[in-house]
């Protein structure tokens, strides 16, 4: 399988960020199939709606039923204004700001094949989260998300909450390259967003209990 070109990489990045607004699936599958000539085998998932299945069977999963509104509110500490299905394999929850009415962010869950998750880039430094599914990784950076691997699928949680991101970014720095004796040199900066990480982990536990 060939590597993604720059154009496809940009489209995939856009698709990941657009997940909070819906329509992510079509952007992602178009970019992968155009670049790889359908090597990823995702066009059939798009056309048949078979991209999501229950943990032990072949029927489609109603993703919005994997997590209740009360669970989203408990995990995030924010009021849920509404929830919307995202095609056959996703669900999004719009969360409110301090007034409980004005939209301030989005939490989305999309279930995808392992191969799709490998191709879609993460925009930060992944951190292993033990005890979730078969394995799980949290990534902060530009698009905070938690990927939980279970039975050949990935439950991908994307959290976009600007107020929480600005309040506690959890910035870490890792020296890279040559460092000087006076502490100079280059550093890799990552934003871990610990509060969003806690929210995502709790939501993943809730979802896995029904998946």
pLDDT in tens, the chain (211 residues): 334 443 443 344 444 444 433 444 443 443 344 434 444 444 434 433 443 344 443 345 799 999 999 999 999 999 999 999 998 899 999 999 989 999 999 999 999 999 888 888 777 788 999 999 999 999 988 789 999 999 999 999 999 988 888 887 777 755 555 655 565 556 556 688 999 999 999 999 999 999 9
In a domain, 11, yes or no: yes
In a domain, 43, yes or no: yes
The range of the structural domain enclosing residue 126 comes to 6-208
Total structural domains in the chain? Answer: 1
Q: Which residues are paired to 85 by β-bridges? A: 91
DSSP 151: T
- Predicted pLDDT at 183: 58
SS3 201: helix
In a domain, 93, yes or no: yes
In a domain, 1, yes or no: no
Confirm whether pTM is higher than 0.75.
no
In a domain, 123, yes or no: yes
In a domain, 55, yes or no: yes
d(CA 29, CA 87): 13
In a domain, 143, yes or no: yes
pLDDT in tens, 91-120: 999 999 989 999 999 999 999 999 888 888
d(CA 14, CA 134): 28
């Amino acid at each position: 399988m060939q590597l993604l070109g720059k154009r496809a990489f940009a489209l995939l990045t856009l698709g990941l960020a657009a997940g909070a607004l819906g329509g992510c699936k079509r952007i992602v599958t178009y970019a992968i199939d155009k670049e790889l000539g359908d090597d990823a085998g995702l066009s059939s998932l798009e056309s048949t709606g078979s991209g999501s299945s229950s943990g032990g069977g072949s029927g489609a999963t109603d993703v919005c039923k994997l997590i209740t509104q009360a669970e989203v509110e408990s995990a995030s500490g924010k009021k849920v204004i509404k929830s919307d299905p995202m095609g056959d394999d996703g669900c999004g929850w719009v969360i409110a700001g301090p007034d409980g009415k004005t939209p301030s962010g989005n939490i989305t869950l999309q279930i995808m094949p392992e191969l799709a998750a490998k191709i879609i880039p993460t925009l930060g430094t992944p951190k292993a989260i033990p005890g979730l599914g078969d394995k799980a990784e949290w990534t902060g950076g530009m698009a905070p998300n938690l990927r939980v691997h279970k039975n050949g699928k990935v439950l991908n949680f994307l959290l976009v909450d600007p107020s929480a991101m600005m309040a506690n970014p959890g910035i870490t720095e890792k020296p890279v390259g040559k460092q000087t004796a006076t502490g100079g040199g280059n550093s890799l900066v990552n934003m871990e967003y610990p509060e969003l990480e806690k929210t995502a982990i709790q939501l993943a536990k809730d979802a896995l209990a029904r998946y």
